[in-house]
Chain A
Amino acid sequence: MTRPAVLTGSHFMHGDHACAEGALAAGCTFFGGYPITPSTEIAERLAERLPEVGGVFMQMEDEMASMASILGASAAGARAMTATSGPGFSLMMENLGLGVMMELPCVLVNVQRGSPSTGLPTLPGQSDIMQARWGSHGDYGIAAYSPWSPQELFDLTVHAFNVADRFRIPVLLMADEVVGHMVERVVIPEAASIVRWDRKRPNGKSPHEFLPFRADEDDLVPPMAYAGEGYRLHFTGLTHDEKGYPDMSAETHQTLVTRLVEKVRRNAAELIRTETYFMDDAQIVVISFGSTARSALRAVREAREMGIKAGFLRLVSVWPFPVETLCEIDQSAQAYIVPEMNLGQLITEVERHVRKPVVGVNHAGGEMMPPDSILAAIREVN
């Protein structure tokens, strides 16, 4: 007896498993991956579950192959995903760039651990956040989400597939070991209520009139045709024109790279997700993401109990960075506190968009950020 793709109901579920179930609920039919702590349970769960829904689980020989395989599956029309952690994330940067250039939608999950190098394989970190933005060579736009619970690992995995398809971009899910290995309640909705944004398709355009890389003016996203549909497509990592043909001119390069960057910038409002807590009269604003956001919320609550006007901005999406939201907050905020499990990465992004003082609360990873350190920073700033 096989189980359906969507396990509707209330579960006590492991975060990595929730991610795998989110992929299945989103209609993922191909996973290519390589075992690496602390993301391995995603692969293990999908090795068991994908065959139950007619999908393909493939354990590849390394992370370069994993990333390449999901791009190939995407080119054939599948919703495809891989999952890894720091060292594997580095190896995937090469073909992440190919995914950006070929505009092949896919989802890359990074369950972050203590880094650099082999670092702390079984312990958490949030130090790949800048790599998520800039890790592959060249200019490009990217979307990255950072879940703070197993429930959100489910929800954001579904969302990541939608965003990937809607904008034809690789989407990063920047989890961390704390949420990946946490077991909590996960509510999976009815299959019919799971939102699906579909890819734009050629809609009957003949192979003669269809230009595979001609983007629509409004959103800069070109409709996508798949291998085997008769379009005789050409996809290349080289700079290419609207037909997909290589063109080694500065003009074509300017046009293409600008569009790839603008595609994300122009659609930022649709990509960005934030949540605010206690922000109405907040003077000290805590900004955080991922598992650290759990500690940050508790610290802000405790500060409020002490009568301190603290508020909390949670970055559900880390990239694109919510510049407009921050500029608005900056009208009334007096100071910012940015806790993160690294030695100061996302704080630089906050610093360059606000005019008030910004204080970091940092540690190099290996244990969850304690709420007390964040509370101490709030009290000191106050």
Chain B
Amino acid sequence: MVAPILVDEHPLDALIRADRMPHIWCPGCGIGVVMRCYAHAIQLLGDDADRHVVVSGIGCSGRVAGYMNLDSYHTTHGRAIPFAVGLKLANPDLHVTVFSGDGDLAAIGGNHLIHAARRNIDLTVICTNNFNYGMTGGQSGPTTPPGARTSTTPYGCRELPFNLANLLSAAGANFVSRWTSLHVRQVRKDILYAFRKPGFSFIEVLVPCPIGFGRLNHLADAIDEIKLYRERCEIAKGVELEQLGIDLHGDQPIYVGRFVDRNAPCYEPVRLEEPA
């Protein structure tokens, strides 16, 4: 048993709501790691944190809006992006980040996701992908890999999952990347990059969900999933977007990296006059 390391203060204290701790996430969950990357990126950007707003939907990742010490909006299931669109267009000076999960963003919110990317609206979307609906107890979702067992696919998943990188690229996002919660530096760097980049940025981060997903898929210990990432992740170089799908049970690589980085014009509303 390793003793916990206790410290009086932490460099990110100002950006985390200590009075909301302890968090609800399970041991081994990767969402907190990604939230830390987000907080660190805000700190590295160096501008006033009062200008940062986080919007989330429903689910485990949705709780990030409650834990970040920012103006934070925990909205309805799937609607974080259109809420964020209204916020951003009503006050373009804000850095608006949507932090949510794969089920929230790609299933119930899938239509909003592709349309916001199509408009290339200036938002940063961080999508933690744990291949299932964790909060409701591990049901299959739009990213559940073929064959994976969940509480609603007890005989194995018979559907094909979204290849989110390919989807977002086709929809028109300016920036699309994928990492895992093992790739802390890359995640942090890409969030910072997305803050600075005009247009729609989508950062997918694969995270372990040992309780909801792992238990039924030979990944009951989060470390096993992290090991799997270390063994099979490969930086995508010259890989077609169509080849970026994820199959946990196969032996082909899990591709990570920056897949799309372009400078298409981002959405600007027509303004014939300055706001009053």
A residues apposed to B, CB below 8 Å = 2, 5, 27, 29-30, 32, 51-58, 60-62, 64-66, 68-78, 80, 94-95, 97-98, 102, 226-238, 245-246
Contacts and interface: CB of A to CB of B under 8 A. Distances in A.
Contacts of B238: none
Contact of B71 (A53, A78, A231): A231
B82 A54 contact: no
Contacts of B178: none
Chain B interface size, as a band, is 35 or more
Contacts of A69: 82-83, 85-86, 89
Contact of A62 (B111, B270, B274): B111
B76 A237 contact: yes
22 contacts: A29-B90, A53-B273, A58-B86, A58-B269, A61-B112, A68-B79, A68-B112, A69-B82, A72-B73, A73-B90, A75-B87, A77-B91, A227-B94, A228-B53, A228-B71, A231-B71, A234-B65, A236-B65, A236-B66, A237-B74, A238-B74, A245-B20
Interface string B182-197: 0000000000000000
B150 interface: no
A68 B273 contact: no
Interface string B83-117: 11111111101100000000000000001100100
A52 B272 contact: yes
A264 B89 CA distance: 30
Given A80-B90, A245-B66, 17 more contacts: A32-B82, A51-B272, A54-B274, A58-B89, A60-B82, A60-B115, A61-B115, A68-B83, A69-B86, A72-B83, A72-B85, A72-B88, A75-B87, A76-B86, A78-B90, A226-B91, A235-B73
A69 B83 CA distance: 4
Contacts of B75: 68, 71, 95, 98, 237
A73 B87 contact: yes
Nearest to A65: B82
B76 A234 contact: no
Nearest to A233: B71
Chief secondary structure at chain A's binding surface:
mixed
B69 interface: yes
A284 B78 CA distance: 51
A230 B75 CA distance: 20
A73 B84 CA distance: 8
- Closest A-B pairs by Cβ, 10 of them: A72-B86, A54-B275, A69-B86, A65-B82, A76-B90, A68-B82, A73-B86, A72-B87, A236-B74, A73-B90
B90 A30 contact: yes
B74 A76 contact: no
Contact of A227 (B69, B87, B274): B87
Contacts of A75: 73, 83, 86-87
B120 to A, nearest CB: 14
Contact of A232 (B70, B84, B91): B70
B216 to A, nearest CB: 27
A54 B53 contact: no
Interface in B45-65: 50-51, 53, 55, 65
B271 interface: yes
Nearest to A30: B90
B86 A227 contact: no
B239 interface: no
Nearest to A79: B90
A98 B276 CA distance: 29
A31 to B, nearest CB: 10
B271 A51 contact: yes
Query: In the complex, which of the residues A5, A27, A76, A237 has the most CB atoms of chain B within 10 Å of its own CB atom?
Result: A76
A233 B55 CA distance: 12
B20 A95 contact: no
B158 to A, nearest CB: 28
A138 to B, nearest CB: 13
A29 to B, nearest CB: 7
A236 B73 CA distance: 6
B72 interface: yes
Nearest to B77: A94
Contacts of B112: 61, 64-65, 68
B51 A54 contact: no
A71 B273 contact: no
A94 B108 CA distance: 13
B94 A76 contact: yes
A248 to B, nearest CB: 11
Contacts of A236: 65-66, 73-74
Contacts of B53: 227-228
Nearest to B118: A61
A229 B272 contact: no
Contacts of A80: 86, 90
